[in-house]
Structure 1
Amino acid sequence: MPRITTIALDADDTLWQNEQFFRLTEQRFADLLAPYTDAPDLNDRLIAAVTRNLQYYGFGMKGFALSMVETALEVTDHRVPGAVIAEILAAGRELLTYPIETLPYVDQALGQLQETHRLILVTKGDIFDQERKLAASGLAEYFAAIEIVADKDPATYTRIFERHTEGPEHTVMVGNSLRSDILPALQAGGFAVYVPHDLTWSYEHADEPVDEPRYAKIAHLGELAEAIAYLERSR
């Protein structure tokens, strides 16, 4: 059996653009609140609220929208008008309407690797939103299995590896988040390929693995086949 038989891929900011739309919404949020607050740390307070609320709302636009409302009330001492709250909620809903923009080399890489490996999608967030984006991307046909999970930790990867692969020792996880895609997959016994994205959310930042033979880093998915070949050779 080849060393790596299954490739698991993240979706947001690995296969298609995602974070850039949240950044646009953050700017819209700041513009709406400008007449009511001069808080210099408005964005930091919003991100703190989003992070704090992950345990209640999970990842995705719904929790982000509710966190914007919570932050707007906090920074204005509840003086923000109802009309502005309505516009903030509308800005959150707009996150569901942005077009899906696949990243460079995605179709090329998936088409090539589908011929030699089993491909599975492992993404986290709101099920409705992730299913919508996958359908709009036109990429679903590449994947033998699709897992939409609430969070990504070693236990999640262990379950997915057991369900869809010959085991972690034959599986590589590919993604843009060190915290969610790389480190927990390695901890679960798999391989990992890191594909950095310029706009990765600060929550997903972590230190890269050091002296880890099951880890590789690439600039874009066009280099994925070469990275997997490298991991196959490394011992």
Structure 2
Amino acid sequence: MAKLTTIGFDADDTLWHNERFFRITQERFAQLLAQYADPDHLMERLLEAEKRNISHYGFGIKGFVLSMIETALDVTGDKVPGPVIRSLVEAGQDMLRHPIELLPHARDAIAAVAEQYRVVLITKGDLLDQERKLAQSGLGELFDGVEIVSEKTTAVYAGIFDRHGDGASYGMMVGNSMKSDVVPMVQAGGWGVYVPHGLEWEIEKADAPEDAPRFRQLTDLGELPALIAALR
């Protein structure tokens, strides 16, 4: 078995809260459009728009706001009031200004792992927003490298762990998304460690690779150092 040398960490909802702010904004969105669509139908239309638009806007708050505006236009037959559009833009600005809230054990887990391994932050989304969140988190100094990518695929992980480590087979990816953090890393030949957050975006759902020998699941990041020690 290849010896671990490099550990990758996801950011949003692995190290700090993120999805909760999208949920709050979705509730605000539903209130603003209440006279045009019931909440369940509105959320279905919004999810459809987000899926369509990922290839255009990528992941992040800005694409989310544009998808809300598009959905508002669709459900109102292009008659959505101007103040509603303004409120949606302001909601996105509020999200971009929201302070970072670290998840339990985030700093301690990274610091403990960094004593013996190279650690890399691997996150996807809007470049400026991800850089802002990392700076506000106070965790930047703990990482040996930072990768902000448009998508997390097997090829992307192979490239990152080649650049920052000794290849994916010597690496581990830790995150809250089965689809983005675990499955493609396992497929690349590395370890995929799932740390569920509790709130999960529909687009990030995927089946766990239960039969994969390099798949693990933890309750929280506090269990990570012990897991890595057990794999030596």
Q: 1:213–1:231: 8 Å Cα contact kept in structure 2? A: no
Q: What's the % identity of the aligned pairs?
A: 53
Q: More displaced, 137-146 or 41-50?
A: 41-50
Deviation at 1:2, TM superposition (A): 7.3
Q: 2:175–2:194: 8 Å Cα contact kept in structure 1? A: yes
Tell me the amino acid that sits aligned with residue 191 of structure 1.
W
Q: 1:39–1:75: 8 Å Cα contact kept in structure 2? A: no
Q: More displaced, 9-18 or 83-92?
A: 83-92
User: Counterpart of 1:146 in 2: which secondary structure?
Assistant: strand
Deviation at 1:83, TM superposition (A): 1.4
Q: Aligned ranges for residues 52-91 of structure 1 at < 5 Å?
A: 52-91=52-91
User: Counterpart of 2:231 in 1: which secondary structure?
Assistant: helix
- Aligned residue in 2 for 1:220: 220
Q: 2:120–2:144: 8 Å Cα contact kept in structure 1? A: yes
**Alignment of 1:206 onto 2:191:** no
Q: Deviations over 1:106-145 (max 9, x none)?
A: 1111111111111100000000000000000000001000
Q: Aligned ranges for residues 183-202 of structure 1 at < 5 Å?
A: 183-202=183-202
Tell me the amino acid that sits aligned with residue 128 of structure 2.
F
Deviation at 1:229, TM superposition (A): 2.6
Deviation at 1:93, TM superposition (A): 1.6
Q: Deviations over 1:172-196 (max 9, x none)?
A: 0000000000000111111111101
Q: 2:192–2:215: 8 Å Cα contact kept in structure 1? A: yes
Deviation at 1:94, TM superposition (A): 1.3
Determine the C-alpha separation between the residues in 1 that align with 2:162 and 2:173.
14
Q: 1:36–1:80: 8 Å Cα contact kept in structure 2? A: no
Q: Aligned ranges for residues 47-196 of structure 1 at < 5 Å?
A: 47-196=47-196
Q: 2:68–2:88: 8 Å Cα contact kept in structure 1? A: yes
Q: 1:7–1:174: 8 Å Cα contact kept in structure 2? A: yes
User: Counterpart of 1:49 in 2: which secondary structure?
Assistant: helix
Q: 1:8–1:172: 8 Å Cα contact kept in structure 2? A: yes
Determine the C-alpha separation between the residues in 2 that align with 1:211 and 1:37.
43
Q: Deviations over 1:127-166 (max 9, x none)?
A: 0000000000000001000000000011111110111111
- Aligned residue in 1 for 2:30: 30
Number of equivalences: 232
- Aligned residue in 1 for 2:15: 15
TM-score (norm 1): 0.95
Determine the C-alpha separation between the residues in 2 that align with 1:39 and 1:219.
32
Tell me the amino acid that sits aligned with residue 127 of structure 2.
I
Deviation at 1:9, TM superposition (A): 0.3
Instruction: Structure 2: state its 5+ residue gaps.
Output: none
Determine the C-alpha separation between the residues in 2 that align with 1:167 and 1:38.
49
TM-score (norm 2): 0.96
Q: 1:120–1:144: 8 Å Cα contact kept in structure 2? A: yes
Q: 2:6–2:171: 8 Å Cα contact kept in structure 1? A: yes
